[in-house]
Amino acid sequence: MDFKQELAHALGGAEQQSIVQHRSCSRCMMTRYKTDLVEGVCFVCREAAKHKWIKAVLTRDLQARLDKYAITLYAYEAMMTAQQGRCAICKLKKDETLHIDHCHEAGHVRGLLCRSCNTGLGNFYDRHEFLESAAEYVRQRKGIKYPS
């Protein structure tokens, strides 16, 4: 018997149940209900570990992108500052890491885009004539309603 079990046995009754139903988290050592622990770890510590893991993955992914386009974190942050943390095309500020847009022919970095704009640009194969044609299409058909 461990100390808590011995104490619970000595006290008896409701106090015994209360002590037996509580355990300490193996990470933060806070006393929690036994049912709140998963493999000995409380919810708060599990969430903290999950966020730490997500941050590590995002950092690793960003570093891989920086390496791919041969730019430094300083250059990326300078672009973020210049664009005020917004997508260079739609100008929206989103809760996501902005993608590094680059010219497929010359290979140089053009700016930072949100996922939607980066995908859209890629779907037009970076061809300005396709993009201009799409813009003209949208402008011409702005008020047109087709029967259902």
- Tens digits of pLDDT across the chain (148 residues): 566 666 566 665 455 455 558 888 888 888 888 878 888 888 888 888 887 877 777 788 888 988 999 998 889 889 999 999 999 999 999 878 899 999 888 889 999 999 999 999 999 998 999 999 999 998 888 877 777 6
CB atoms within 10 A of CB 120: 15
Q: Coil, helix or strand for 140? A: helix
What does each C-alpha distance from 33 to 17, 26, 30 come to in angstroms?
Answer: 11, 13, 10
The last residue of one of the domains, among 26, 47, 68, is 68
Same domain, 59 and 77: no
The reply to whether 93 and 51 lie within a common domain is no
φ, ψ (nearest 5 deg) of residue 6 = -65, -45
Q: Which residue range is the domain that position 83 belongs to?
A: 71-140
| Whether residues 130 and 82 fall in one domain | yes
Residues 95, 45 share a domain: no
77 shares its domain with 135: yes
Total tally of structural domains belonging to the chain: 2
Domain termination residue (choose one: 17, 45, 68): 68
